[in-house]
Amino acid sequence: MTSPAADTAPKPSSNFLRQIIERDLAEGTYAQRRFAGTPGDAAHHAAGQPDPARIRTRFPPEPNGYLHIGHAKSITLNFGLAAEYGGVCHLRFDDTNPEKEEQEYVDAILDAVQWLGFDWHAGGVSHLYYASDYFDFMYRAAEALIEAGLAYVDEQSADEIRHNRGDFGHPGKDSPFRGRTPAENLARFRDMRAGKLADGAAVLRARLDMASPNINLRDPALYRIKHAAHHNTGDAWCIYPMYAYAHPIEDALEGITHSICTLEFEDQRPWYDWLLDTLCTLGLLAPPRPHQYEFARLNVTYVITSKRKLKQLVDEKIVDGWDDPRMPTIAGLRRRGYTPESIRLMCERAGTAKAGGWTDYASLDIALREDLEGKAVRAMAVLDPVRLKLTNWADLFASDSYHEPCRAPAHPQRPELGAREFGLGAEVWIERDDFTETPPKGFFRLYPGNRVRLKYGMVVECTGCEKDADGAITAVLATVLPDTKSGTPGADAVKVKGTITWVGVHDALAAEVRLYDRLFTEPQPDAGGKDFKAALNPASKKVAMGFIEPSLANARPDDKFQFERHGYFVADRVDHAAGKPVINRIAGLKDSWAT
Ligand code: ATP
Ligand code: MG
């Protein structure tokens, strides 16, 4: 028996993170939290207001490369959950590593997040943060851990530290420096900070448990020495916090409630909990503290999503830069013509789960087609042109220079978008493969004796072709059938089995059309550490000189359209200009890779 309430009960949450957030909201886990308007320590937030944000999430990229499709998943997830539950999502640059980070990457990341449709402003406040702004607090927290006997300066060599950490089957061995007193450690840590020790001469470690079955808890390193300038703090520091130490603190200072990361950090969670609980107990951080939750990273077939490997493609000039339309970077996807809507839709459909899987690249094209089907205006384009001569044109229309005006809807289901206009004349461009001298069975296009409709124009009957001295076809010949113009009363009097697209020689625009395809021929090009360069698709970029309809004369960079029979295309955002069209293929009308 079903109760009447069952019909009106809310649908169960569609992923485990929503369930966790809903549980926390129901239990008021974070209801008493205060937020001072800016990140800060326990005292700072205690003096603030009750947090108007019901939850806080964050997207924390390291500015050492361009964002890719995997990051889009994290962005849509974090910003999406915050929006869904009355929360706020912070954009935080995890810039604690002095050497690899660059302003170019910072700018590209800001651009990518905005373009995807997300905003780190909430209630007039910008929640754009830099982890390096927290260096002072991180240092203070480190001294507090030392004073509490919970951290020590280890002067073993890097090799000794690694060796003495043990491994899965063997407990670690205590460092000879583990027994130093807090006073000794404090003095030595201050020496580190003052630049008295060389790079690698010492590290600060937590004093936890050298026998823990979780290797991450065997006295993890908190600080290392690196005499390197930092893009934000300059020469102020020669010691820098380790990621595992910095990240939980960044979350806590910002009042993050749900810290969502990928599965490889699962083993770090006990450390995350220990560190924040300890700093709360020491009175440095304000409870309730953030919690970390892990989900399976997005893996997409036929692409690679490691910043390091993407950088290699750029540095070795295998692609034309970070925004090459074949790159799975947000900048590349954007230039290729994928829309923010299609990327968000694909990420949502990929799901959010604890166990990993692969998402087929085709799902991005499916999302793109769904998004553009209703939006993109139509046009005709001929990408591999051959001339079609209508040999009786002057007989019918008195002159070869006469052009019959033709009209087509800008969009078949959206009359409000208006009509396209172009002319049919004595010569038109058609696709080379729309003609053959010897038709295979089922070929309904042009061959001697066959009739086809020039779409939106007239019916023509093929009479043959012209060839050059080598036998290559230089023109196709046909005659026009009078009174067959589309939309006129006589149009249906002549039945044809084939309709082909075309553009007029007199009014078509010459265009460079870049036919992009997958960059790799294998679904998992770098699986198992194999050489992804061996799987490069040699035909991933073909450049065609084609002709497009005159209705596109005013197309602007980033404008998207559907070329009838060909697929979805975009005016290249970098190279396209009025009078010099450069068009990229985004995706075909169907999946050409489907088996
Ligand atoms: P890469 O390994 O490519 O360098 P990363 O994880 O080191 O990527 P970060 O800048 O640290 O890059 O990533 C920022 C955020 O994006 C992190 O929270 C990370 O977990 C998330 N992220 C990165 N790749 C993916 C992915 N494939 N799927 C989901 N989230 C991802
Ligand atoms: Mg990372």
**In angstroms, what is the span from residue 328 Cα to ligand 1's centroid?**
13
Q: What is the pTM of this model?
A: 0.93
Is residue 145 predicted with pLDDT exceeding 80?
yes
**pLDDT tens per residue, range 32-89:** 999 999 999 999 999 999 999 999 999 999 999 999 999 999 999 999 999 999 999 9
Give the pLDDT band of residue 101 (cuts 50, 70, 90). Answer: low
* Structural element, H or E, at residue 397: helix 393-397
Is residue 276 predicted with pLDDT exceeding 80?
yes
Give the pLDDT band of residue 222 (cuts 50, 70, 90). Answer: very high
Question: Given this model, what pLDDT does residue 4 score?
Answer: 43
Label residue 241 exposed, middle or buried (CB < 10 Å: 0-12, 13-18, 19+). buried
Q: Whose CA is nearest to atom 10 of ligand 1?
A: 61
Find the ligand nearest to 74 CA.
1
* Residue 331 amino acid letter: A
Question: Given this model, what pLDDT does residue 151 score?
Answer: 98
Is residue 592 predicted with pLDDT exceeding 70?
no
Average pLDDT over residues 514-518: 95
Give the pLDDT band of residue 1 (cuts 50, 70, 90). Answer: very low
Rounded Cα distance between 350 and 358, Å, is: 9
Residues 6+ apart with CB under 8 A from 41: 137, 253, 284, 285, 286
Give the pLDDT band of residue 24 (cuts 50, 70, 90). Answer: very high
Long-range contacts of 529-532 (CB under 8 A, 24+ apart): 532/304, 532/309
Is residue 6 predicted with pLDDT exceeding 50?
no
Best of 17, 67, 74, 347 for a ligand 1 pocket test (most atoms within 8 Å of beta carbon): 74
Average pLDDT over residues 493-498: 92
Decide: 488 in ligand 1 pocket, CB within 6 A: no
**In angstroms, what is the span from residue 290 Cα to ligand 1's centroid?**
19
**In angstroms, what is the span from residue 61 Cα to ligand 2's centroid?**
7
CA neighbours closer than 13 Å in the CB half-sphere of residue 20:
18
Is residue 224 predicted with pLDDT exceeding 60?
yes
Question: Could you give the residue numbers annotated as active site?
Answer: 62, 297, 307
Find the ligand nearest to 266 CA.
1
Question: Given this model, what pLDDT does residue 12 score?
Answer: 46
Rounded Cα distance between 454 and 532, Å, is: 45
**In angstroms, what is the span from residue 495 Cα to ligand 1's centroid?**
58
Question: Given this model, what pLDDT does residue 532 score?
Answer: 94
Rounded Cα distance between 190 and 197, Å, is: 10
Residues 6+ apart with CB under 8 A from 331: 66, 67, 108, 111, 112, 322, 323
Over pLDDT 90: what percentage of the chain? 91
Decide: 436 in ligand 1 pocket, CB within 6 A: no
Residue with the bigger pLDDT between 9 and 109: it is 109
Decide: 60 in ligand 1 pocket, CB within 6 A: yes
Is residue 231 predicted with pLDDT exceeding 90?
no
Decide: 58 in ligand 1 pocket, CB within 6 A: no
**In angstroms, what is the span from residue 68 Cα to ligand 1's centroid?**
9
In eight-state DSSP terms, residue 218 is: S
Decide: 259 in ligand 1 pocket, CB within 6 A: no
**pLDDT tens per residue, range 437-486:** 999 999 999 999 999 999 999 999 999 999 999 999 999 999 999 999 99
362 close to 147: Cβ distance less than 8 angstroms: no
Give the pLDDT band of residue 171 (cuts 50, 70, 90). Answer: very high
Q: Whose CA is nearest to atom 27 of ligand 1?
A: 70
Residues 6+ apart with CB under 8 A from 342: 364, 367, 368, 370, 371, 372
Q: Whose CA is nearest to atom 9 of ligand 1?
A: 61
Decide: 76 in ligand 1 pocket, CB within 6 A: no
Nearest residue to 451 (alpha-carbon basis) of 481, 408, 487: 481
Tokens coding 251: 């979350």
Among the listed ranges 66-75, 88-97, 99-108, 414-423, which one has the minimum average pLDDT value?
Answer: 99-108
- Give the three-class secondary structure for 450: coil
Question: Given this model, what pLDDT does residue 492 score?
Answer: 84
CA neighbours closer than 13 Å in the CB half-sphere of residue 217:
17
Decide: 305 in ligand 1 pocket, CB within 6 A: yes
* Structural element, H or E, at residue 392: none
